[in-house]
Structure 1
Amino acid sequence: MSNQELIHAYRHLLRWSLRAVQFSKPSRFVVRDTLRAAFRDENGTFEPSRIKSTLWFLESAATYVGVEHKIIKNMAYVRHMQQKNIGPWRIKAQTLAKSQQRALKDPVHEKEYEHFDKTIAMLNDTMNLCLR
């Protein structure tokens, strides 16, 4: 794996991801941040076959408004909601109403994205993709 291959893969994935979400405001920032985190991950591996199949998936999502587009759109929405919850819990607790404060302390909310992550992992394994 050369540095140039890595850069080209990043640029192609970013370009087709932005086209897939149609450059919509919250989604394009979510896609950009997710892709940056994936390429900066030290434990990540570079597999050209997975990159190629992911590009095909993103091209299909950008070209046709079908199942692929809905998957990408929903993934961006869930990641956006997940990123909105990041922050010190004390600040969130002070700004929320009392009923919402109880929901913050609920242990169910600690694992609320676990099922979603497992579903995406199974989709990646089945279709040989590298979505996050």
Structure 2
Amino acid sequence: MPSVKKFQITFDCADPERVGRFWCEALGYVPPQPPAGFDTWEAYTESQPPEERGSWFTAADPEGIGSRMYFQRVPEGKVVKNRVHLDIRIGTGLVGEERLAALEAEAVRLIALGATRGQLLLADEYNESCQNMQDVEGNEFCLD
């Protein structure tokens, strides 16, 4: 049985480009080059039927290591907690006040991009501190 090495993370959302550009900034990802025959994404978008324009967006790790992210427009809004979420590993190896400072600095940066802060979960005997957040459309993620 083959082992899967690459996978894509897909987000259902109302505004794929807005959510995708948030995650590009959050993770240092980039949109791909426009399709062959188009100098810009705007030119490609204008070539599509009106109902297809802005219906999807992709983001990729510029180093080709991280998973590709795909954002697709869906008609329904988010109504309940995510069953899966991303953890941005900003505090790996840090503990105590140093970890809290790293989480806070990243939270402030992402809030400036449109994220909202959730609950700060402080370290206990099993887990280090983490900061719950939401992206520009309310999708939960953690700063870990």
Which structure is higher in RCO with an 8 Å CA cutoff and minimum separation 6? 1
| Global fold match (TM > 0.5) | no
- Range class of TM-score, shorter chain: under 0.3
TM-score by length of 1: 0.26
TM-score by length of 2: 0.25
